[in-house]
Amino acid sequence: MPFCQYSPAMKTTLALLALFGTAAMAAMQTSPAGVIRIATLSTAPSRITGGDVLVQVVLPDEVAPASLKVTAGGRDVSGAFRRKGESRVMEGVVTGLPLGNSAIEAVADRGRGRLDVTNYPATGPVISGPWQQPYICQTDAFKLPDGTTLGPPIDANCSARTVVQYVYKSTTTPKDAPGADDPRDATARRALPPWYTPLADPSRLPADVATTTTTSGVIVPFIVRVETGTMNRGIYQNAILFDPTTDQAPTPFAPPRGWNRKLLAVHGSGCPSGWYIQGAALGVSVLADESRLAQGYAVFNNTLNHPTNSCNAFLAGETTMMGKEHFIETFGVPRYTISYGGSGGAYTSLQVADAFPGLIDGVEIRATFPDALAIAMSGSDAHLLTHYFATTNPGGFTEAQQVAVSGYHGMKAFIDAANQSQRTDPVQNRADIEGYQAARWNAAVPAAMHYDATKNPSGARPTVFDAAKNVYGVNPATGAALRPFDNVGVQYGLDALNSGAITVRQFLDLNERVGGLDQDANYASARSVGDAGAIRRAYQAGLMLGANGGLTSIPIFDNATSNETGGYHYGWFHFALRERLRKANGGSSDSMAMWRAVSGSRGRELFDQWMDAIAADTSNGPARAKMVRNRPKALVDGCYDSSTPPVFIADALPFTSKPVSKCSELYPVYSSPRLVAGGPLAADALKCQVKPVGANDYKVPLTAAELAKPKAIFPGGVCDWTRAGVEQTPVVPWASFGPSPVNQVYEPARAAGGSR
């Protein structure tokens, strides 16, 4: 059989590998006669980075393992491979792959095989498109566990040396050390949380080193190996229990004894100011979650997985892909990978898991948003409303009526939400409502680089759109990212009108004069028209979470912390996520468990049981069926009451601010402007389809003259929320915006010059 010919079964396997990029489809233990199967285990063969990849070779029965010869890019790499026990499976880390396309070939006495591969630089990009410019290196400010820094960059791509250090937990560390077991604590953002001590001499154990028993039942010294380096122009770290006095140098074939073969991908938080910087710190230290490390979990993170450094979830996905690849090539394939985070870390976890199926096997989140767009788009609606109430029609609505139109709990919650539109505003020092902070910049970005419409119109634009302009596209006339915000046809305050909270006259005046926002977030008299291409690509890239990719078949535990009275971490975002999952799965959200109020360790214990049961399920069938079948019976939706100790209450958690159940009485959930306008709870229609204005839209009587007014206000029609949004399309799994040609949906370089 020629090298390039495969059986139909093997073509299917390789296609799945190229799509999912994990070892899940690569565990093939037999091979047809004459065919040597070759598969990559650390990443997809089309997305290798840094010249290294973990490779699996499966020999047919008639081939003697000793006769195997493997070449990579024409070089003999046979010495890298070793046999797995008595099986016919050989594995090895192939190094030194040339940039670009090459082939890994296997030849033996009675078989042969070939796998075409593509290798990209460790600096990227692979799928996220052209580099963001300007870009500020910060390796010299990044602190290592021992208090030193990573040092100055060694090239223009912000690369730095790779450093391995060790820390340990002492037997004298107080069990109630501030922030222990709680990565949300401010101490978690330190390079070295206070319950660890640097290990000065890795050749001997200190007398006060503590021990820990992992979930595998292994007792090891509580010493953590922390590796720091750079990839994809970000700064990465991984952490794993490791005894440098007894453990071998880590390889995929000799992982540390303390690793339980489970991996935790950590994401940070925030978004405003998350552009044009490498990041001087991780959002959450890889050492922060002491309990997970004690159990034997390994952890990996990157400064570009912290939205406060880089508010681009697609770039975070590429970075997670590269970080997991490197981890596997260093330590081996994990049983499963959990993505963890709160706030910006929650939406990044969700978006990465959905847009890159197979990269993440489970999601554990809190302070949840579906995506950064949900915050920005709802904030833009609210911002238009606050401007109308304060400037266009001051005194025209009572405070109670303004709140009714907003959907929020009260005026503070309304204003806090409105101020989140600041992440779409590139204009510095804009005067607006109290608390509004446009053009948020990290101090590391020199003022001379900042955009100014008059003084520096070609400067860097500090917005969530421009941070991901490779996805949204670029306006060639201005260099600004194209925008998906659209409020054409939106009848603001519709539910408030129908409930009698506002009058017909108020409703009509509001919708006639609320206006829109231009590309610089200036108020405009006309409604905003979102760019159709930007809208479509937001869905395709998963920047608008569709929940119809990887999330359809993996567990999600949402520890639904929220605050309805202010701060913009509102409950409706959690319910929007659940609704998107229901839409993607025929009305079912059985992949998601949602608990109201912080649950302590119980929720995590049940979630871990779920993950372990799925990993242990070797039956055939769809991944979604395994996920549903193995959900613990105790992991039902519900809330905790306020008793001491709190008692869990099973509850369907309806979306309502009314006390229709015990949990809704304890934890009422309020709305948002687009929902009050009749929009879907999923909040996933960036631009609505329209229909003619009709009397049936209104539950209050309108005279013929009054009904004529909305027809004039909305000459093209009003939103028809029963239909999918304009350009609303499923996520493209493993989409590319270049340079990879695999699943490429858009090429920013040809469109107008992109940046990532």
Strand ranges, E, within 161-267:
163-168, 197-198, 211-213, 219-221, 223-231, 234-241, 262-266
Among 633, 630, 604, residue whose Cα is nearest residue 615: 630
CA atoms within a 13 Å half-sphere pointing along the CA-CB vector of 412: 6
Show the DSSP H helices in 389-437 as ranges: 399-406, 411-418
Specify whether the CB–CB gap between 283 and 345 falls below 8 A. yes
Residue-by-residue DSSP string for 272-285: TT-SSB--SS-SS-
Could you report the per-residue pLDDT of 381-401, keeping only the tens digit for each?
999 999 999 999 999 999 999
- Section 476-504 average pLDDT: 97
3-state SS assignment for residue 749: helix
* pTM (2 d.p.): 0.93
- Cα distance between residue 261 and residue 606, in whole Å: 19
Report pLDDT for 30: 59
Closest among 292, 100, 270 to 214, alpha carbons compared? 292
Residue 478 pLDDT > 50? yes
User: How much is the average pLDDT of 329-340?
Assistant: 98
> Tell me, what's the pLDDT at 23?
40
pLDDT digits (tens, 9 = 90+) for 581-620: 999 999 999 999 999 986 678 999 999 999 999 999 999 9
DSSP state of 351: H
Calculate the alpha carbon distances from 462 to 426, 442, 494, 556, 561 in Å. 5, 10, 33, 32, 29
Distance CA(323)–CA(286), nearest Å, equals: 13
Percent of the chain past pLDDT 90, that is, above it, reads 87
429 burial (CB, 10 Å; 0-12 / 13-18 / 19+) is exposed
Reference 72, options 55, 59, 50, 47; nearest CA is 55
pLDDT of residue 63: 85
Residue 241's DSSP bridge partners are 224
Length of the chain: 756
For CA atoms 744, 357, 184, 558, the dihedral sign is positive
**For the chain, which domains are there?**
8-120 (2.60.40.10), 139-366 (no CATH), 373-529+677-719 (no CATH)
Confidence (pLDDT) at 86: 81
Q: In this model, does residue 15 exceed pLDDT 50?
A: no
pLDDT higher than threshold 80 for residue 632: yes
| Coil, strand or helix at 604 | helix
Mean pLDDT of 115-142: 97
Q: For residue 62, what pLDDT is reported?
A: 83
- 741: nearest Cα among 152, 18, 173, 187: 18
Cα dihedral 618/619/623/628 (nearest 10): -100
* pLDDT, tens only, 704-726: 999 999 999 999 999 999 999 99
What separation, in Å, do the N-terminal and C-terminal C-alpha atoms of the chain show?
Answer: 44
**Span 22-51, pLDDT tens digits:** 444 444 455 666 799 999 999 999 999 999
Q: Which of 542, 583, 603 is nearest to 722 (CA)?
A: 583
Structure tokens at 231: 């990839």
Greater pLDDT, 86 or 21: 86
Confirm if 426 and 451 have CB atoms less than 8 A apart: yes
Measure the CA angle with vertex 569, ends 728 and 372; round to 5°: 35
Q: CB–CB of 249/109 below 8 Å?
A: no
Convert the pLDDT of each residue in 176-208 to its tens digit.
Answer: 444 434 444 444 445 688 889 999 999 999 999
Interatomic CA distance for residues 113 and 35, integer angstroms: 6
pLDDT in tens, 420-456: 999 999 999 999 999 999 999 999 999 999 999 999 9
pLDDT at 333 over 90: yes
% of the chain residues with pLDDT over 70: 92
Half-sphere exposure of 291 (CA within 13 A, CB side): 13
Which pairing describes strands 81-83 and 89-94: parallel, antiparallel, or unpaired?
Answer: antiparallel
- CA 39 – CA 17 distance, rounded (Å): 8
Checking DSSP bridges between strand 648-650 and strand 638-640, what pairing results, if any?
antiparallel
Mean pLDDT over 317-340 rounds to 98
Position 486 confidence tier, pLDDT thresholds 50, 70, 90: very high
Give the per-residue pLDDT at 239: 98
Instruction: Tell me the average pLDDT of the chain.
Output: 92
Identify any residues that bridge with 166 across adjacent strands, giving them in sequence order.
225
In this structure, of 15-24, 132-141, 602-611, the range with the lowest mean pLDDT score is 15-24
Cα(83)–Cα(164) distance, rounded to whole angstroms? 29
pLDDT of amino acid 31: 63
pLDDT average, residue stretch 540-552: 98
pLDDT given at position 645: 87
CA 703 to chain centre: 49
pLDDT of residue 240: 98
CA distance 536 to 499: 34
- Vertex 708, ends 702 and 712: CA angle to 5°? 135
List Cβ<8 Å contacts ≥24 apart for 642-647. 642/666, 646/597
Note the pLDDT of residue 6. Answer: 32
Q: Which residue has the tokens 């913009």?
A: 568
- Looking at residue 153, its pLDDT comes to 98
Write down the pLDDT at residue 174. 60
Structure tokens at 162: 């790779």
Mean pLDDT value across residues 473-494 = 97
Cα(564)–Cα(572) distance, integer angstroms: 9
pLDDT at residue 124 is higher than 60: yes
Q: What is the pLDDT of residue 17?
A: 40
Decide which of 28 and 319 is more confident: 319
Q: Is beta strand 69-72 parallel, antiparallel or unpaired with respect to 197-198?
A: unpaired
Lookup: tokens for 740: 């990879």
